[in-house]
Amino acid sequence: MEGLLFLTFATIAVLCALNLVLQTHPISSALSLIGVLGSIAVLYLLLGGEFIAAVQLIVYAGAIMVLFVFVIMLLNTGAEKQPTRKIVVTWISLPLLFTFIALAAMLIAQQVPKTEVVTFGGFSGGTTLSVGRSLFTQYLLPFEVTSILILIAILGAVVLARKEI
């Protein structure tokens, strides 16, 4: 049962990620990113990381995506214009892309050491205590720098979207 759920939500994540890249309108891409983040939260839940799954949904799929949508709406961007492509370029580039992906996967598989198999529900590191302790001790500076960068990005979007009087 867990394997079927994993395959289902992994497929949803991959399809939403492809849709995210292929969309021409930014709001549609943001909605596809919400689908990716939601399915990743379910994958965390399947692995036994209940707290991480909840944080994934609340913080990333909730708050950060609302922030992204507000910034997109502030910038008032329209749909991206698709360049015209020649069929010859597509027929040449697709086999090259698949060859590159296969070679990269082969090289990565050779470099990564063999580990034990992941078991569903076997993860025990995502408790509130362990995440809070590491966030406010070891990762305090990156956490604060990230919040400042997000604030700067919001201010930059407001400045860019401001109408000249």
Q: What is the mean pLDDT of residues 75-103?
A: 80
Burial class (CB in 10 A: 0-12, 13-18, 19+), 72: middle
- Give the confidence band of 163 by pLDDT, cuts at 50, 70, 90: low
Q: What is the mean pLDDT of residues 12-22?
A: 93
Which residue has better confidence, 102 or 121?
Answer: 102
User: Half-sphere exposure of 67 toward its Cβ, with a 13 Å CA cutoff?
Assistant: 15
Residue 39: predicted pLDDT? 94
38 contacts 10 by C-beta, under 8 angstroms = no
Tokens 């994540």 belong to: 13
